[in-house]
Amino acid sequence: MNRSTTDPLHVLVTVDFPDSFLDGVRAVDDRIVVHHHPVSEAENPETTVPAHLLTQAEVMYTSAVLPGTDQSPALRWAQLDTSGIDHVRGTRLWDSDCVITTLGGVSPAPLAEWIMLMVLSHAHHLRQTEQLAATRTWPSREFRWNQLMPHNLRTSTVAIVGYGRIGKEVARLARAFGLEVLAVRRGSPAAATSTFGATPDVEGVSEVPLAELHQVLARSDYVVLTVPLTPETQGMIGADEISAMRRTAVLINASRGGVVDESALLDALERGHLGLVASDVFEQEPLGPEHPFWTHPRVLVTPHVAGFAPDYLEVVSALFTTNLRRYLDGEPLLNVADRERGY
């Protein structure tokens, strides 16, 4: 990424950030010229951003605006406002030679906390106790003993399918609760020097190759999905994988909706298979008001909020400004997306 040391660096930000974020970007170097043109989800990104801003942008912080070389001939680096890149696949930006970086490493902690919330909600029968509270019912001691006895997490097993930064944080919390952890990983992770917010290894975790997924599913009380959505992971949890799981198993999806075959999942639930499904992500979002997941007694739905980070602005600012300095100094950027791997 060699560039002139004197030319201005035009940075186009299409996300609605406060002035404090933009001031932090400007403070990185006197050569930086920030153009802020927020684009909402309801707007058409193809027509919203003025052509001259797209033309001169060398760096872009973006969510929905994904131009190609025809619109942005000077664009060399695009920072996405997401951890995943599945929504970029097939766009003009994807097909360009522009470097793409992600927000990987920004929200492993809240995602892992949400996952453990789902584990604990199941283990301590939160749904049942909420239903009792809604009807002001105090059940008998026999009912409480037989129906509301917690599941023993210290004798339970959790399978984490996708053992990256989020998966490792899940493993750390799960081990603290005494669960046995099986981590399913496709291959070796990206080099630690190229990623933001790397999570240290967790003791007591058994790593398993993806080829043994069915065996792991059969052993696990809880199955957690934290894989990116790629052509390889699309529908990776289908009818065969669900059948391999225990009838009482809990499936927790914090990755992307397309990883799970929802038709197969509904069929399994109707047959009484699986103790609980907890999902923050769905094949189609927003989830339609008539979708059976909303009312199914063994499904917990949250509206794609598991990755919301309370310190998002501060952490994202730190990542973007660090990468800006690296860009200006000709150093490798953090969190470069691998188009071949799909994340």
Identified catalytic residue from 270, 285, 314, 331:
285
Identified catalytic residue from 35, 58, 256, 262:
256
- Cβ within 8 Å of residue 279, ≥6 positions away: 251, 252, 253, 257, 260, 293, 299, 300, 301, 302
Q: How far is CA 329 from the centre of its chain?
A: 30
Identified catalytic residue from 36, 246, 298, 304:
304
**304 annotated active-site:** yes
**151 annotated active-site:** no
Q: How many CA atoms lie within 13 A of 189 on its CB side?
A: 24
**How far is residue 314 from each of residues 107, 200, 258, 277, measured CA to CA in Å?**
12, 22, 30, 33
**256 annotated active-site:** yes
Phi-psi region of 302 (alpha: psi -120 to 50; beta: other; left: phi over 0): beta
Helix (H, G, I), strand (E, B) or coil at 70: coil
Q: How far apart are CA 37 and CA 262, in angstroms?
A: 37
Positions annotated as catalytic residues are 256, 285, 304
